[in-house]
Amino acid sequence: MTRTEAYLILNALRLVGPVRVRKLREVLGGVEGIVGMPSSKMAGVEGVGQAVAESIRGWEKSFDLGAELKRISQLKLKVVDCEDPLYPPLLREIHDPPMVLYYRGNIETVRAACLGIVGTREATGYGIELAKKLGYQLAYAGIGVVSGLARGIDTAAHQGALAAKGRTAGVLGCSMDQMYPAENRSLADKMVEEGGCVMSEFCLGTAPDRQTFPMRNRIVSGLSKGVLVIEAARASGAMITAKQALEQGRQVFAVPGRIDHPQSGGCHQLLKDGARLVESVEDVLAEFEFLIPRGEMPVPVAPKGNLGEVEKKVLEGLGREEMHVDVLTRKCGLPSPVVSATLLKLELKHRVRQMPGKCFTRID
């Protein structure tokens, strides 16, 4: 039995969990030997107990490993366990990292700097527009966008990142063969096609329920340097994600909304509690300079000649004088979101500097 197969077995046993497995591994050694160990020996480990030990010892009664491996192959899925070098390093740091991740696409998507974007499924037009815009601008600037592939804010954030041809990853609140909500199957496929990733910790055949979504949320925050909340009621899944992010030592960002709208209550509570106020993507990027060690920002300083055509056009339009972004947009004849995102990228490449009043100036 391989190490990954042993983790697949333990992951499928509801009584076990990643924290208990870590304790078993620390006391008894490699995970491969745990599944065949006498229950009396496992029960003696602190926090395990007889019921959990017997569940592990009799795993074949509740889990068909051969069928799981066959289904994984049929669905063309990949599996990475928590000891694998490919496992996202930031996720490994949380208290209860998933034992395994089933995934499609490129796992490297979540090994570089990412931000989680979460919010209500019942988003307003304002929330959808912001999620798309911020997802676009963050991805364009080189930061991966992680969300839960749910309706509303999650979907908009993924769409924005895809529009920027940037990195985006979705974490499911069900197994990879279930896909909830069903209408986002095409979005998930598009994310994979464009070099992103869709993942889940749940063994195949696991339907979404009230327990799986909070479990999913801890992965969204665990993969991310911080979590941005856009429209969330005070009692919502997005607020659970924000709470988990704080427990994991991540930065929490929140976008303010209308004071008389129930979907703004959660964001306003987070801001009262010390979350970073986000009025534009610059508020997030400014914080990322502290969250990411010097020299590890996602977009490196580029040589002068290493600019895309749009970047060159914006830089030429800026000229040598300080210019307001609206004036620059009219001068370039490009859509406002494109100019804004391009300026962010040029800032990260240290080619332009933002001045007070949304004005910009060239550095070179």
Is 299 a domain residue? no
Q: Are residues 49 and 196 in the same domain?
A: no
Q: Are residues 192 and 244 in the same domain?
A: yes
In this predicted structure, what is the pLDDT of residue 286? 83
State the residue range of the domain holding 20. 1-63
Domain containing residue 2: CATH number: 1.10.150
SS3 call for 263: helix
Q: Kindly state the percentage of the chain with pLDDT values over 70.
A: 95
| pLDDT tens per residue across span 47-88 | 888 999 999 999 999 999 999 999 999 999 999 999 999 999
What pairing do the DSSP bridges indicate for beta strands 144-147 and 114-119?
A: parallel
Is 71 a domain residue? no
Mean pLDDT of the chain: 90
Is 15 a domain residue? yes
Q: Are residues 270 and 190 in the same domain?
A: yes
Is 296 a domain residue? no
Number of domains in the chain: 3
The residue with greater pLDDT, 292 or 229, is 229
Rounded Cα distance between 314 and 344, Å, is 11
In this predicted structure, what is the pLDDT of residue 300? 38
Domain containing residue 112: CATH number: 3.40.50.450
Q: Where do runs of H (alpha helix) occur along the chain?
A: 3-12, 18-28, 39-43, 49-57, 65-74, 89-92, 125-140, 153-163, 185-193, 212-222, 237-247, 265-272, 281-291, 309-318, 325-332, 336-348
